[in-house]
Every structure is written in C-alpha cells, then in structure tokens.
C-alpha cells in the first residue's frame, strides 16, 4: 500500500486480518492482526516504510537511534523532514523523559540518514519485537548501517561519568530467560531463523571510531567494552551489579541489545556506543552512587555535543569509503 496517511491505520489492520502468511515453509494463519498480536508482519512494516518514503525524497543509508538525553545528536541533521511518531501509522509512542518521539530524515556529512529521537523500551510495556520494530522499518526504507547510542551505567572501574564506551559485544541476558525480539514465526524476508551474533558489532567501524576519538583529542575518554540490557525500569541491586561485573559486563542499560539483534537478523552493519552517565554502585556504603534518571538525562545533555561529533566523524569516514552513496542535496 502506498500513499497511506495516519488516518489509514485501520486499513492496515483490516488488511493484515485477511492475510495468511507463508513463513519458513509453514503456513501461519493470522487469525489476529499482526498488531493485536504485538508482532509486526512484513506487510505492516512495509506499509510504515512506504508511508515515510511517500512523504520525502530522502533515501537514508544510515539509521541512528538517540539514547536518553542524546536527542540533540539528531539536531545536527540538515535538510530535514520530521515525522512525529504519533503521526506514523501503527508506530508506538515514546513515554520516557529524554525521548521526544520523532523520526528525522535528512543529511549528516552528505550521507542520507534517518534518526529516532526517542526509542522504545521493554519497561514501557512494549514487547521486545515492538521495541525493535523501527529497525525493520529502517531496513525496508533502505538503510544499510544502524548506529545505536544509549545511556548506561559504568561497571568497569576504569570508566568515568561522561566517558564513551564503543560497544564491542553484548550479553543478551533477557535472551537467557527466553525473551527475544525474534521470538515467534520467522519471516525469511527479514532474515534467517537462527542468525549468528559472532560479529554483531562491526570491528572496522570500531577501529574508525577509535581513530576519530584520537583526532578529537578524547582518546582518554573512549573505551571498548561489553554492554548488557536488563528489563528495567528499576536500576540494579549491588548483588546484581557484582554478578554482571563477574560475567564480564562493562556497562549496563535498558536498550540496544534487542535492536542490534534485529538489525543483524536483517543484515544491517552495526555500530553502537554507550555514554556512561553514572557509575554503578558495587558497594552498599556508596549511597551517592545511586542511579537516577534525572542524572542520566543531565549527563547525556552535557555530553551530547561530543557524542554527536563522534558520530558525525564516523559517518564522514563511511562516506569516504562509499563516495557514490553520499548525496549532495
Ligand atoms: O534509551 P537509553 O538506553 O539510552 O536509556 C537508558 C535506559 C533507561 O531508559 C534510562 C534509565 O535512566 O536510560
Ligand atoms: N540498567 C541501567 N540502565 C541505565 N541507564 C543509565 N544508567 C543505567 C544504569 O545504571 N543501569
């Protein structure tokens, strides 16, 4: 369907109600709509992508997700076309402070991008597949790279508040408990039933980011490490943090992992970093170390210019490597 509008969302529902979907050789009859089922079918996601593409001539190659307090990364985008989430058919809304709820199409370093100012979290009541559904929209829009940012608590004793951790790998703890954004029937148009995650975070882009950090003179504020996502919304107990540290976690948050799994499933190249907004308390006597969201957002806002510059410079390097992809408006 093309040319749909916000008021057409009922039409999407009606359409998916009548569809039987062929997935991995099995015929799955959708007796409920994809959305009532809390999973988004390929057709519904395609409709969302078409809604966006019908309203702009920008064809993004890079998808950006702004973490808590990091909205202004997207303010650097030029020649913008802005979509409020509430106007996009079948799109969830952001309910968290520091996540404004806007999809911005435009250009960074002459590269066409789309950026989410506001992501969806499991603790908001959204299932993981719904939290990461916008990544599939990005894929169907034509995006090749996902750049995800987040605010996270620093567990590694070397990390200071305000430092940036380039995500080298993640531990999918929610997956240990059987919760995955890929749960349910697999649609091979997105990717395989059993996707590998060995090189989820692109090593070349990490290398570029490290060089960029040197060029910016912030090499002492940049680290590489392992991120994990917990369900939230509560922050961690001391015992939980001690366990995570033993497991090899360097930074802990409430997002990104399911987005990256979804991105790798549909073969997007992934780059991600965490802004360390607080130091995790691994002792009971450190009451000043108690995490709170106000501090998370404040630290995010104070460091978003640096985070934005890092991201832009990495994009500049990507543009150099694929000059035919960069577009002059
Ligand atoms: O969206 P991100 O992962 O950047 O936000 C983190 C996790 C929670 O949403 C919030 C907690 O303060 O910050
Ligand atoms: N889970 C979790 N998420 C965060 N986001 C920002 N800081 C934290 C933290 O300490 N823990």
SS3 at position 47? helix
* 227 pLDDT more than 80: yes
Question: What is the pLDDT confidence band of residue 259, given thresholds at 50, 70 and 90?
Answer: very high
99 catalytic per annotation: yes
Among 278, 281, 319, 326, the one annotated catalytic: 278
Ligand 2 atom closest to the Cα of residue 153 is 10
* 295 pLDDT more than 80: yes
* 268 pLDDT more than 80: yes
Determine what percent of the chain is predicted with pLDDT higher than 90.
80
pLDDT, residue 90, reads: 93
Contact 124, 149 (CB under 8 A): no
Among 99, 223, 258, 265, the one annotated catalytic: 99
* 35 pLDDT more than 80: no
Distance, in Å, from the CA atom of 213 to the CA atom of 220, rounded to the nearest integer, reads 9
Q: What are the extents of the domains in the chain?
A: 42-321
Please tell me the distance between residue 296's alpha carbon and the centre of ligand 2 in angstroms: 8
**pTM attached to this predicted model:** 0.89
The predicted model gives 76-105 an average pLDDT of 93
The class level of CATH for 42-321 reads alpha beta
Distance, in Å, from the CA atom of 210 to the CA atom of 29, rounded to the nearest integer, reads 49
User: Across all residues in the chain, what is the average pLDDT?
Assistant: 88
Whether complex ipTM tops 0.90: yes
pLDDT, residue 30, reads: 36
The predicted model gives 36-46 an average pLDDT of 83
* 42 pLDDT more than 80: yes
Which residues belong to the annotated binding site for a purine D-ribonucleoside?
236, 278
Question: Cα–chain-centroid distance for residue 63?
Answer: 9
For 103-114, what is each residue's pLDDT tens digit? 999 999 999 999
Contact 100, 294 (CB under 8 A): no
* 21 pLDDT more than 70: no
For 128-175, what is each residue's pLDDT tens digit? 999 999 999 999 999 999 999 999 999 999 999 999 999 999 999 999
Distance, in Å, from the CA atom of 54 to the CA atom of 50, rounded to the nearest integer, reads 6
């Amino acid at each position: 369907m093309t040319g749909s509008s916000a008021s057409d969302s009922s039409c999407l529902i009606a359409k998916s109600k009548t569809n039987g979907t062929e997935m991995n050789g099995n015929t799955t009859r959708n007796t409920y709509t994809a959305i009532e089922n809390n999973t988004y079918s390929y057709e519904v996601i395609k409709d969302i992508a078409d809604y966006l593409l019908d309203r702009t001539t920008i064809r993004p190659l890079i998808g950006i997700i702004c973490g808590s307090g990091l909205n202004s990364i997207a303010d650097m985008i030029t020649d913008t076309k802005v979509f409020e989430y509430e106007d996009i058919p079948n799109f969830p809304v952001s309910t968290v402070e520091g996540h404004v709820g806007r999809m911005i199409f435009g250009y960074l370093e002459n590269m066409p991008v789309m950026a989410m100012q506001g992501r969806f979290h499991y603790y908001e009541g959204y299932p993981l597949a719904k939290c990461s559904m916008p990544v599939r929209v990005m894929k169907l829009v034509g995006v090749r790279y996902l750049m995800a940012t987040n605010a996270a608590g620093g567990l590694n004793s070397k990390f200071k508040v305000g430092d940036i951790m380039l995500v080298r790998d993640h531990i999918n703890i929610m997956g240990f408990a059987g919760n995955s954004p890929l749960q349910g029937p697999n649609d091979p148009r997105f990717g395989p039933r059993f996707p590998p995650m060995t090189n989820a975070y692109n090593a070349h882009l990490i290398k570029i980011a490290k060089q960029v950090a040197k060029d910016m003179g912030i090499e002492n504020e940049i680290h590489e490490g392992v991120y994990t996502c917990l369900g939230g919304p509560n922050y961690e107990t001391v015992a939980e943090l001690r366990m995570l540290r033993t497991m090899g976690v360097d930074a802990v948050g409430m997002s990104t992992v399911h987005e990256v799994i979804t991105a790798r499933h549909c073969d997007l190249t992934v780059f991600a970093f965490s802004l360390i907004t607080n130091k995790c308390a691994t002792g009971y006597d450190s009451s000043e170390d108690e995490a709170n969201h106000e501090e998370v957002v404040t630290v995010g806002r104070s460091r978003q210019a640096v985070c934005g510059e890092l991201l832009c410079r990495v994009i500049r390097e990507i543009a150099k490597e694929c000059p035919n992809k960069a577009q002059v408006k």
